[in-house]
Amino acid sequence: MAEAEPEKRVTWAEGYFDLVFVFAITQVTGLLNAHHGALGLLRALVVFVPLYWAWVGTTVQANVRDVDNPRDRLGIFAVSLSGLFMALALPGAYGSRGLLFGVAYWAARLALLAMIVRVRGTWLGPYGVGAALSGPLLVTGGLLPDGPRLALWGAAALIDLAGPTVLRRRLAAVVYHPGHLPERFGLLLLVALGESIVDLGAPVAAGRALSAAELVAVSAAFTISGGLWWLYFVHAGEAMRHAMATTDSRRDILRMVYSYGHLALVAGVLAVAVGFNETVARPGRALDGGTLGLLYGGCALFLLTFGYTRWVTFKAVAWLRLATVLVQLLLLPLVRHAPALATLSLLAGLLVLLNLLEHQWLKHTTRRRGRVAEVGEVGAVGSAV
């Protein structure tokens, strides 16, 4: 019988690094709150990708080797400080702080490269691409006017995202620990969900008297946030962990399900969070198109991403979640001129219904397959990843 792989735990240095990312997430949603039209959404996404990719790079390094030593802790702290500078630059990233954002990102990529080169002795790979290409592009973009800056930063983001796919053969020999990555990416999603709690509470926490409608709106928004949590951590997270532990190619699960899939999952949650900020304090007003798009579009992106991850991992269709997205699209004309409270409540009810249906489906699948099914198998078959 093969010996079980030793469990790799999240280090305290990684937890400290996440605190910087919490602040960065808040700055990204602040940028989107200020401008949440189509162009504002693109601008926020373009600056979020480098932040996210710095987090992914640090997480992967901590996964594939031991970083719980003084030298690598200092390396993680260097990336953390760079991330802090990036977060500080975000409010003026398309203005006077563009150069700070670019230089801070390049510094993070160089720190990550130095950590991996010391161990592997080569710069060829996604870390080298970030240091040699995307980092300098962000610095150059920080020196340019608004329009060219957005174009150059967008190109840098695409280069970063393409790196693991273009260079996937170089990553084939890397040994990934299956337990550590699901925990890290789950914690990342919790950070995003935490931002949704901040954005639903902050608009009504100013000390004035709260109306009954505002309290109901907060309850509906909290139900939406909790519904998203339930979909991931009760119905999907274990299936992803199962896929990572049992697949013949952990590299591909890391790249497609975790690196790419969680970028979309986190982006969807942050869009919903910004939608909360614009709705709970004004429950009687109809939502503008941008806010409605963020609220319903962010939720739809979250659910559609599970359709992608389930197909990648199990070649199966997440019918319930895809059907829920279709219902959301059908509801849009009905809620376009409805009060924000009704818009929130309908979405909350839809997510509660989805979770109930998935719970019943999981019970039915478990009963049909027998009591001997392993937890991982049940999660893989019964959940709509």
Rg of the chain over all Cα atoms, to the nearest angstrom: 21
According to the model, what pLDDT value does residue 385 have?
45
According to the model, what pLDDT value does residue 2 have?
42
Calpha distance 296→8 (Å, rounded): 37
Q: What is the pTM of this model?
A: 0.91
According to the model, what pLDDT value does residue 124 have?
58
Q: Which two tokens stand for residue 55?
A: 């987090």
Closest C-alpha among 73, 107, 102, 75 to residue 89? 102
What residues form DSSP beta bridges with 286? 339
Residue-wise pLDDT tens digits, 365-376: 777 766 444 444
Calpha distance 130→51 (Å, rounded): 12
By residue count, the chain amounts to: 385
According to the model, what pLDDT value does residue 3 have?
47
Percent of the chain with pLDDT over 70: 90
Residue-wise pLDDT tens digits, 247-302: 777 888 888 899 999 999 999 999 999 999 889 888 999 998 889 999 999 999 99
According to the model, what pLDDT value does residue 150 have?
97
Calpha distance 112→116 (Å, rounded): 6
Q: Which two tokens stand for residue 48?
A: 């979020």
Calpha distance 188→128 (Å, rounded): 24
Cβ-contact 270, 298 below 8 angstroms: yes
Cβ-contact 340, 285 below 8 angstroms: yes
- The number of C-alpha atoms within 13 Å of 186 and in the hemisphere containing its C-beta is 19
According to the model, what pLDDT value does residue 375 have?
45
According to the model, what pLDDT value does residue 370 have?
61
CA distances from 184 to 22, 31, 63, 158, 195 (A): 14, 25, 9, 23, 17
Residue with tokens 């949603």: 29
According to the model, what pLDDT value does residue 367 have?
73
According to the model, what pLDDT value does residue 362 have?
79
Calpha distance 126→337 (Å, rounded): 47
Torsion of CA 350, 356, 361, 364, to 10 degrees: -160
What residues form DSSP beta bridges with 339? 286
As a whole number of Å, the end-to-end CA separation of the chain is: 30
Q: Which ranges of the chain have pLDDT less than 70?
A: 1-6, 118-125, 170-173, 207, 369-385
